[in-house]
Chains A and B, each alone.
Chain A
Amino acid sequence: MNDIIKLLWIDDNLFHDLTEKRMALYMEEDIEPHFATDATDAFYRLRSEPFDVVIVDLRLPPGPDDMWETYRASNFQKYGYALLCTVLGEQKDNFDHLKETRFGVFTIEAQEENPELFEAPIRLAEKNFKMKTHAYHENAFIDFIRHVYKSWR
């Protein structure tokens, strides 16, 4: 039997435009989906439990926590990026339990617009980045999750 992939998908549109893709995950026997819709929600989910795969949208709302104050001042919008920096960078000591977690980015933006994702502290593998427009069919998205699961940071 295949491993069960414990997935956290972080996207503010999960309950709107992405409903069908989200429901498709429930039909996959090897995926145990969990969801978060803003950076604050995601931060606390990640701090409290391990996941095999975390898929992040870049343009996330910050959510209510004050930890994002420094970003707010400059009209920042990519709280997905801020979340990754926090979890994998400045606060990584609090996230030891995510050592085996593989991260992926699923976003409307192009890879070229986000070169910082591939540098420290995130160091995302290029193949773990997928544009939403390149995964119109839900199978492409599910394949992407399985690919991220098999990848190594």
Chain B
Amino acid sequence: MEPGMPPAMRQEIRDAFEQIRGLPFPIYAGDSAGNFLFVNEQAAEFFALNPALDPSVYRITTYYENPEERAYVLRRLQEVAPGAWCRDIAVRLKVHDEFRKIRFVSKPFRDAQGNLCGLLCIALSMSDIEWFAEFEEMVHTGFFEVDRNLVIADCNQAFARVLKYGSPAEIKGQPLANLFWEPRNIALLADEITKSPHIEDRRIKLRRKDGAMVIVQMSCIGIAGETEGIARVKGTIRDATFEIIQHDLPVGLFLVNTDQNGEDIISRANRTFAHIHGYESSDEILSKPIRMFHPNAAAYEAFKTELNKATANGQPLLDYYMEVQDRLGKKHNVVANVRYVSDENHHLRVGAVYDVTDHLRGHTRTLEADFSSILHTYIATINGLRDTMTMLLKAHGEDLQKDETHLDRLRAAAETLRSKKRLETLLAELLKTAAERGLADDPSLARMSKLVQRLALGDTSADKEKDNAALGRRILLEFRKQLDVLRALNLPREPVRNLRAEVEELLRLTSMISLSISLDELNERIPDFYYFRDYLRRGELVQQEFRPNNVVPILLDSVHFLEEFAAVRQVSVVLEFNQRDHIPVLCHRNSLNRAFHNLLHNAIKYSWNKGSERRPWVTVRIEKKDDTVEILIENWGVPIRREELESRSIFQFGKRGRESEDRGRSGTGIGLYDAHDIISKHGGSLRITSEPTFGNLPDMYSNPFITRTYITLPVAP
């Protein structure tokens, strides 16, 4: 107790205390130092004071959460007029580790000099609502009260704001029927409240002052009157319209934030966004890095680049099509509309994502079906054309054939050279005769001389074979025209006839060469057509439909199918396995065949000649290892770049390796993606390596590399 308190003052405080101690609140009196002087029972209980002890052994200051706060309280009390009560001091006290929000109603006592020497306090517990009451105007929850006549008796500013009224006064006195979008529901609601007075989180449609509808989330309590069932209803409303849009809109909505490590994190998302990415609820996807849903780092960077580009132009990124993968790796085709939130320095972005996978799949399927049937007809036509070309070769070039379907081109070239020589000789003889007959200056003969000279100039190297045949034929056709002109001249018929016969022979030879080359080109392209048709016709791979099949004959099917292609490419396919082996795998035979076809086709297509002593070759091995089988396809030739292997971009749909266009090699960029997909769906793996040889540097891609494709599949039990 403060030593200096005069006894009269103490008595005055005591009297005041005694007058109110019976009120049902904790009441105490204390001196200016904070010592308790008198406490009623509720105060002793509230502050957990030992009733056996004099209350003056306790100090109110020890109960303050922040002891310095008492100085503030005393300053406030200093300002209170003598004899008046101060009613608005709210403090947080700590009683036995429990925080309590308290409003003090206090009366200060002063000495003759006006110094505060004691006070009488009523400690009123406060609810959270009371505690935060000063923020009421900032709270977006609307409070309302409806009387027994279903008229708005009271409401707060937020209630008026939700319904677009200017102030609570404007809305008070309005019948509820004016505010309900569907007034017939009022009776139903009233009936429900009568039966069960507590309603929580009910969605209700209300009519705003401007006539628009607003959907609110309402909770209310029906309060019983003395005579009737429910006299009034008090409740809260919250505008839930955008919440509903966010929740029910079949579009993924998201907010992405950049964290302190520079990682773009999903900070908010709706349910649809979560579903697109393989999660049940939006909570599950929060805090996940957004990049994990992009197929690779390059794809994510491409998206960011486009977003930044659009932002630099003051635009949002609109209708950006991309592929994303859900948490299980399943691909989705989405269209995104995204923009950075202003003033956030690109650290916060919002967007909407549409999943167009099914839509796209439907369109793609139709296109694929249509295109595969066109391709099928096209292949049939090409096959017919190939047969006809083969027959023409047989009919007009039988003497030059190497076997049933191929021309001996070396022999054809030698024959052509001999024929050219004969043509030169025959023409020389004719020119001599023409000179004897005074026709040396005839323009047709001069033209023929020039044409024969050009014919002789042709480059005879093998890679000019096609050009030589094509150009030679054009020269010979021109030559033949000139021969027709000679008919009008006085020249012997026999040499002219011999010349014409030689021209026809040369035309036959060059045509056979061109036909043979074209047939090779056609044979080179046909596997592409077949593969592409089969790819377009593929169905979904359903594991239940997989059957045990020996993998060896499936692989051999592909080898045999590509024999002609390998022959044209002059690549040998070396099989280093026992063709009678039986290694069962659970598979979809056609799909696995397509994958093998693809990988082997690539190995042949991208092979280089290893030197003059031996033509290029592709090695195929099969090795059974416990419960798996490993198939190795190895070739030597066009490299695959290290970064393409590391990023696995070669397995992306439509992506071709940077070196793959080497020497005009065509391709679609689908093969490896498809093969990888098929093998993965068979529970296997596809691994590719590409390494330099002969000590060449790893980044020197102008040199040939050894490329190895490892296919691992589980062996069927």
Interface, chain A (partner B; CB < 8 A): 12, 15-16, 19-20, 22-24, 26-27, 37, 61, 64, 72-75
Known A19-B470, A75-B654, A75-B655; 17 more pairs at CB < 8 Å: A12-B664, A16-B521, A19-B466, A19-B467, A23-B470, A23-B471, A23-B474, A24-B474, A26-B471, A27-B474, A27-B475, A27-B478, A37-B664, A61-B661, A72-B658, A73-B302, A74-B302
Q: Is the CB of A15 within 8 A of B466?
A: yes
The 6 closest A-B pairs by CB, nearest first: A23-B470, A61-B661, A23-B471, A27-B474, A19-B470, A26-B471
Contact partners of B664 in chain A: CB under 8 A:
12, 15-16, 37
| CA distance in complex: A15, B666 (Å) | 13
Contact partners of B654 in chain A: CB under 8 A:
75
Q: Is the CB of A64 within 8 A of B467?
A: no
Question: Which residues of B453-485 have CB atoms within 8 Å of chain A's CB atoms?
Answer: 466-467, 470-471, 474-475, 478
Any A CB within 8 A of the CB of B578 = no
Report B132 CB to chain A, min CB distance, Å: 54
| CA distance in complex: A72, B702 (Å) | 18
Tell me the nearest residue of chain A to B473, going by C-beta: A23
Encode B647-675 as 1/0 by CB contact (under 8 A) with A: 00000001100100100100000000000
Contact partners of B478 in chain A: CB under 8 A:
27
Contact partners of A72 in chain B: CB under 8 A:
658
Q: Is the CB of B521 within 8 A of A64?
A: no
Q: Is the CB of B470 within 8 A of A20?
A: yes
Question: Which residues of B622-667 have CB atoms within 8 Å of chain A's CB atoms?
Answer: 654-655, 658, 661, 664
Contact partners of B467 in chain A: CB under 8 A:
15, 19, 22-23
Instruction: Classify the secondary structure of A's interface with B.
Output: loop
- Given the known inter-chain contacts A19-B466, A74-B302, please indicate yes or no for A64 contacting B471, CB distance below 8 A: no
Contact partners of A26 in chain B: CB under 8 A:
471, 474
Report B675 CB to chain A, min CB distance, Å: 21
List 29 contacting pairs A-B, 8 Å CB cutoff, sorted by A.
Answer: A12-B664, A15-B466, A15-B467, A15-B664, A16-B521, A16-B664, A19-B466, A19-B467, A19-B470, A20-B470, A22-B467, A23-B467, A23-B470, A23-B471, A23-B474, A24-B474, A26-B471, A26-B474, A27-B474, A27-B475, A27-B478, A37-B664, A61-B661, A64-B702, A72-B658, A73-B302, A74-B302, A75-B654, A75-B655
| CA distance in complex: A27, B470 (Å) | 11
Contact partners of A61 in chain B: CB under 8 A:
661
Of B467, B521, B658, B664, the most chain A CB neighbours within 10 A belong to B664
Report A76 CB to chain B, min CB distance, Å: 12
Encode B689-712 as 1/0 by CB contact (under 8 A) with A: 000000000000010000000000
Of A12, A19, A24, A74, the most chain B CB neighbours within 10 A belong to A19
| CA distance in complex: A72, B655 (Å) | 11
| CA distance in complex: A20, B474 (Å) | 9
Contact partners of A23 in chain B: CB under 8 A:
467, 470-471, 474
| CA distance in complex: A75, B655 (Å) | 8
Of A15, A23, A74, the most chain B CB neighbours within 10 A belong to A23
Contact partners of A24 in chain B: CB under 8 A:
474
| CA distance in complex: A20, B471 (Å) | 8
Report A131 CB to chain B, min CB distance, Å: 21
Contact partners of A37 in chain B: CB under 8 A:
664
Tell me the nearest residue of chain A to B525, going by C-beta: A16
Question: Which residues of B577-616 have CB atoms within 8 Å of chain A's CB atoms?
Answer: none
Contact partners of B521 in chain A: CB under 8 A:
16
Tell me the nearest residue of chain A to B660, going by C-beta: A61
| CA distance in complex: A61, B702 (Å) | 16
| CA distance in complex: A42, B123 (Å) | 93
Report B587 CB to chain A, min CB distance, Å: 33
| CA distance in complex: A12, B667 (Å) | 14
| CA distance in complex: A23, B514 (Å) | 13
Report B66 CB to chain A, min CB distance, Å: 60
Contact partners of B474 in chain A: CB under 8 A:
23-24, 26-27
Report B504 CB to chain A, min CB distance, Å: 20
Tell me the nearest residue of chain A to B652, going by C-beta: A75
| CA distance in complex: A64, B654 (Å) | 20
Report B428 CB to chain A, min CB distance, Å: 23
| CA distance in complex: A12, B663 (Å) | 9
Contact partners of A22 in chain B: CB under 8 A:
467
Tell me the nearest residue of chain A to B298, going by C-beta: A73
Report A73 CB to chain B, min CB distance, Å: 8
Contact partners of A75 in chain B: CB under 8 A:
654-655
Report A99 CB to chain B, min CB distance, Å: 32
| CA distance in complex: A23, B465 (Å) | 13
Tell me the nearest residue of chain B to A17, going by C-beta: B521
| CA distance in complex: A108, B186 (Å) | 70
Report A60 CB to chain B, min CB distance, Å: 10
| CA distance in complex: A12, B521 (Å) | 16
Report A114 CB to chain B, min CB distance, Å: 21
Tell me the nearest residue of chain B to A37, going by C-beta: B664
Contact partners of A16 in chain B: CB under 8 A:
521, 664
Contact partners of B466 in chain A: CB under 8 A:
15, 19
| CA distance in complex: A9, B278 (Å) | 52
| CA distance in complex: A64, B641 (Å) | 13
Report B547 CB to chain A, min CB distance, Å: 39
| CA distance in complex: A27, B481 (Å) | 14
| CA distance in complex: A12, B665 (Å) | 10
| CA distance in complex: A23, B474 (Å) | 8
Tell me the nearest residue of chain A to B470, going by C-beta: A23
| CA distance in complex: A24, B521 (Å) | 21
| CA distance in complex: A74, B466 (Å) | 36
Contact partners of A64 in chain B: CB under 8 A:
702
Tell me the nearest residue of chain A to B659, going by C-beta: A64
Report A64 CB to chain B, min CB distance, Å: 7
| CA distance in complex: A146, B55 (Å) | 116
| CA distance in complex: A42, B559 (Å) | 39
| CA distance in complex: A61, B667 (Å) | 12
Tell me the nearest residue of chain A to B654, going by C-beta: A75
Contact partners of B471 in chain A: CB under 8 A:
23, 26
| CA distance in complex: A23, B467 (Å) | 7
| CA distance in complex: A37, B663 (Å) | 10
| CA distance in complex: A133, B661 (Å) | 24
